[in-house]
Structure 1
Amino acid sequence: MAWMLMVGVGVLLAVAFGLGSARWRAGARAPVASPRGRVPARPDREAPATPGVPADDLLPAGLHALALVSRSGDADHGGGANEAALHAAVVTTLEQRDWSARHLPRRPQLLPQLIQTVNDSDASARAMAAIIGQDPVLTGNLLRIANSPVYRLQAKPVDTLQRAVTLVGTEGIRQIISAVLVQPVMQIHCAAFPQFGTVIWEHALLASRAAADHARLVTHEDAFAAQWLGLTQGLGAALVMRQLLDAAAHQGAAAPSRALATQLLDAWTLPVASRIAAAWELPPLVHQALLRDGDAAAPGLSASLRFARAAAAASVLCRHGRIGQAQALAILEQQHATPVHALQWIWRRLHGRAVETLDADDPGDD
């Protein structure tokens, strides 16, 4: 009898494991319900320690290391006695009350129409796409973003607005349109760090999607406001870098060091983003969440923004082969109180089918 009982238990465990694996690979369906609270780290998913880098800084440090590579390909350059003066000059400028009026980008012309359409519960994805259809340049940008790895759902290219609407739906087209309006004012030519503009835009696009999903599933906040948090924080980073480059050129200084750029980006990205949100008259929730982001205990949209910035950084680093997916998920699990099913679903949305190679954890496959 004892051996029969042991066999029966073994069969049950095998069935349970099989169901769990099937659930993991079942597809990107939103979880119906999931327990709240921090997900405990598992022994096979421990985030490796990096000497000298606190756990909370692993993802932003990795993102900056990727974005702030110099023209020569070196990890860092510049520095010296002029760095302190350059830092002081940038901070003084950013602190000036009239800086916003002179340097913040103009609000996209079609943004008020988009906000009005989004707030109309009867508005369809086609109505929102029609807003962009008024401008051929914006239409081209929408199709380009719809064909990017973040949104593309199948091998066949998306070549018309109608097809984009059909494939991504109302929520997807809303996110893409927001990104289309932001992209022209976010473009930055950065000779000192040639990858900066591309990496920061990729991060902003992913953060906007992760923030919307997190707000919808976890914090139960306004997903439209959340996606703008992801986009405006990217704009904030671009403007801080632009001010640093302008100050360096004005002083006739050498290209700034990665250390100085990182310090300024960490300190000023969100304050500048909050100014953009206010100047563009985005929903008040966006401005408030950006101001509260420094408070680790702040709930709601601020929590969605913190998660989104980290998740987007993890996805960017995976896409560029800097870390593996198991490491990325381990860090996210340990640092954010996101239910495990929601975390897996959001990650699948950010990373697509690549999440199915998690067990192999080969950065080259990401």
Structure 2
Amino acid sequence: MDESLQQALLGAQLPTLPAVAVQLIGLGQSEHADVTQLVDIVIRDPALSSTLLRLANSAAYRRVTPADTLTLATSYLGFEPSRMIALSATLVPALAGDREQPFCYTPYWRRALLAASCSRAIARRLFPRDVESVSLAALLQDVGMLAIAQLPNAVYQGQACETFDHKGAVAREREVLGEDHATIGAWLLKRWEFPENLVDAVAVSNDYSRWQAEGKAGDFDGAVMASGLMADAWMSADQPEAVPTLHDRICALLGAGWDDVIEIMTEASAEVPIVEALCSTKVMDEASLQAALDVLAVAKVDAAGQAE
């Protein structure tokens, strides 16, 4: 990334991590980390403790004996999933944003949380042991936008929030800054010492051509990128002209047909309440989610990539 842009970002009011997030990241870098240390960190935050207990007792993780202690909850979830879940729950409120900045925070978070929901459904099929890691990468794939929003050149000035367009935002970023938010987001996550696989997935999340050259269908990076495009499809279901490109790319990224993609999105709709509870943020109402899914389910795309 250009040095002058790095200096501009360092001079801006970048999002900062709460102490508990720093501790959770550090725990992942320790060779001697264990559940006891994780519980010691989480138990100091009642809301975070409640989130882990609630998720451990959800249908996705529930055992015969309910988890009534944090130690039991983390044993049901697993050490690394518990750490990723705690990080997700901690980061969203911390990164909520300065609402006085010229940026569309509501559609930003809608895309982020829809992507996280889609990624969970994707990962349950492709990476069942890494569901929470894929979900966290999907949740953070656009975090660079929050840094860009703090720059004085107002990249997003005049953007109509009602017609928030991720693709258009990327084009505007590249025009003004010479980089897009994926590069900046990866730079930010690296400064925060996030795991390398998450940093790499965020770095490539807007670069489909790069993925075509370096990736393969169903890999970690492709799953994260596909989750964002599925969120775009959900948010733009009333724009049939957007379907062909999204269709082709999502199918290629996952190595799946459109019927499979719709099935994954249907499963993702059941993940939305989990993500909403995890992040204490509302995504979309159930009726709107289902209506958009119904539109996408009947959208047919021929071999030439044209919506019918």
TM interval, shorter chain, is 0.5 to 0.7
Residues 53-91 of structure 1 deviation map (CA, whole Å, 9 limit, x = unaligned) = xxxxxxxxxxxxxxxxxxxxxxxxxxxxxxxxxxxxxx9
Cα distance in 2, alignment partners of residues 112 and 192 from structure 1? 26
Contact 2:15 2:146 in 1 (8 A): no
> In the alignment, does 2:261 pair up with 1:352?
no
Residue 19 of structure 2 aligns with which residue?
109
For the residue of structure 2 that corresponds to 1:247, the secondary structure is coil
The equivalent of 2:189 in structure 1 is 277
Contact 2:120–2:268 (8 Å) recurs in 1 = no
Task: Name the Cα RMSD after superposition.
Answer: 5.1
In structure 2, the partner of 1:361 is: 294
Aligned to 2:180: 268
Question: Which residue of structure 2 aligns with residue 188 of structure 1?
Answer: 97
Residue 337 of structure 1 aligns with which residue? 254
- 2:215 equivalent to 1:305: no
Q: Gapped runs of 5+ residues in structure 2?
A: 61-66, 272-285, 297-308
Question: Is the 1:317–1:323 contact (alpha carbons within 8 Å) kept by the matching residues of 2?
Answer: yes
Q: Distance in 2 between matches of 1:339 and 1:304?
A: 12
Is 1:133 the counterpart of 2:67 in the alignment? no
1:97–1:350 CA distance, 2 compared to 1 (3 A): same
Q: Is the 8 A contact 2:101 2:150 kept in 1?
A: no
Measure, in 2, the Cα distance between the counterparts of 1:313 and 1:130.
39
Shift of 1:181: 1.9
Distance of 1:181 and 1:248 partners within structure 2: 27
TM-score (norm 1): 0.50
Structure 2 match to 1:77: none
Distance apart, 1:291 and its partner CA:
3.0
- The equivalent of 1:286 in structure 2 is 198
The aligned residue for residue 256 of structure 1 is: 158
Q: Name structure 1 gaps, 5 residues minimum.
A: 1-90, 155-160
CA distance in 1, matches of 2:265, 2:293: 16
- The CA distance in 1 between the partners of 2:293 and 2:195, in whole Å, is 43
TM-score by length of 2: 0.57
Paired amino acid for 1:97: Q
- Does structure 1 conserve the Cα–Cα contact (< 8 Å) formed by 2:122 and 2:264? yes
User: Deviation of residue 308 (structure 1)?
Assistant: 1.3
Paired residues of 1:213 and 1:346 also in contact (CA < 8 A): yes
Aligned ranges 1:202-281 → 2 under 5 Å: 202-215=110-123, 217-218=125-126, 222-243=130-151, 246-248=152-154, 255-258=157-160, 261=169, 263-265=171-173, 268-281=180-193
**Equivalent-residue separation in structure 2 for 1:163 and 1:261 (angstroms):** 44
> What secondary structure sits across from 1:263 in the alignment?
helix
The amino acid that maps onto 2:89 is: V
Counterpart Cα distance in 2 of 1:234 and 1:281: 17
Distance 1:162 1:336 in 2: 40
Rate the CA distance shift 1:248–1:199 in 2: closer, same or farther, 3 A. Answer: closer
User: Which structure 2 residues correspond to residues 85-164 of structure 1 after superposition, within 5 A?
Assistant: 95-103=4-12, 104-115=14-25, 116=27, 128=38, 131-136=41-46, 138=48, 142=51, 162=68
Identity within the alignment, % = 15
Question: Per-residue deviation at 1:240?
Answer: 2.0
